[in-house]
Amino acid sequence: MSKIYDVIIVGAGPAGLAAALYAGRARLSTLVIEKIKDGGQIVITDEIENYPGAVEGESGPSLIKKMVDQANHFGAEKVFDTIVDVQLEGDVKVLKGNKDTYQGKTVIIATGASPKPIGCPGEKELTGKGVSYCATCDGNFFEDFEIYVVGGGDSAVEEAMYLTKFGRKVTLIHRRGELRAAKSIQEKAFANPKMAFMWDTVIDELKGEDILTSMVVRNLKTGEVKEIEADPEDGTFGVFVFIGYDPQSKVFEGKVNMEHGYIITDEDMRTNIPGVYAAGDIRVKSLRQVVTAAADGAIAAVQCEKYLG
């Protein structure tokens, strides 16, 4: 606990790693604290098509590996720990983890967001037993099974397309009558013979003992409720949920200004506390993408350098 870092970055996703790269290059002593794995949400993403320079074949894990190597190259230190309490006021900020306590003159909060659950009965109990939020992790279990994907944005449609590699049929369940995903992605989805669409529909309940066997869906327009059961020969099916994200900001509650759990910053990533910045998906912003997260990280690191003088 003796060392006082110039910059402590919480979270090793694209925002945190970009910040580490810029801080490292500026020769600031930099520590990155990560909970479990480098990369954040992008490592559970099959294809990155919309990050400049990441062309066909670039996956989340392959892109993040380059970012990690680059940050390491410029001298950022890394520790795996979960932060449980913070003291952000004053010249030296203190972050208390499960393993150790860390001190920094500046802090960049880049904790990101985690997949939002549907919030229906049975969902928690059946997670990992038919319900999933990670296609690259779990898609393989559903080889030749029926798969349902919930959501209508870029992630939902892209992951649904990825899952057609495994499932014999992939049905997208969306609460609206049209997709929100980029047109180029939609075109591919509509042209895919394995894809089906269930419009204006939500899942009310997921059922099964130890394993998902049926679900109750409701049509929002007609009010019709029906139960979809697993093919008796399969015994189960997959439900993959991509309906947005929840900010990972609990430990900072009451310490920095927030709006619906997202941290409020100015355009230079400053929070309301001097020396404390936020970057990436954790911020209040209009576009949460790898490219905007990385940009936030760069700006935050440069602001740390200025703040330190």
Interface contacts to other proteins, rule CB under 8 A: 35-39, 43-44, 60-61, 80, 82, 98, 114, 127-134, 136-138, 140-143, 210-212, 236, 238
Report which DSSP code applies to 304. H
Closest distance between other proteins and the C-beta of residue 99, in Å? Answer: 9
- CA dist 15 and 128 (Å) reads 28
Is position 138 annotated as part of the catalytic site?
yes
Closest distance between other proteins and the C-beta of residue 277, in Å? Answer: 26
Catalytic residue among 134, 154, 281, 296: 134
Cβ partners under 8 Å of residue 70, min gap 6:
17, 21
**Cβ closest to other proteins, residue 210 vs residue 259:** 210
Is position 120 annotated as part of the catalytic site?
no
Helix (H, G, I), strand (E, B) or coil at 227: strand
**Cβ closest to other proteins, residue 64 vs residue 263:** 64
Closest distance between other proteins and the C-beta of residue 36, in Å? Answer: 6
- CA dist 281 and 268 (Å) reads 15
**Is residue 200 packed enough to be buried (19+ CB in 10 Å), middle (13-18) or exposed (0-12)?**
middle
Catalytic residue among 69, 85, 137, 266: 137
**Is residue 209 packed enough to be buried (19+ CB in 10 Å), middle (13-18) or exposed (0-12)?**
exposed
Closest distance between other proteins and the C-beta of residue 35, in Å? Answer: 7
Closest distance between other proteins and the C-beta of residue 5, in Å? Answer: 22
**Cβ closest to other proteins, residue 200 vs residue 246:** 246
Bridge-based pairing of strands 195-198 and 262-263 is unpaired
- CA dist 108 and 95 (Å) reads 12
**Cβ closest to other proteins, residue 157 vs residue 230:** 230
**Cβ closest to other proteins, residue 139 vs residue 275:** 139
Cβ partners under 8 Å of residue 42, min gap 6:
13, 14, 48, 60, 63, 64, 290
Catalytic residue among 138, 154, 281, 296: 138
Tell me which residues are annotated as active site: 134, 137-138
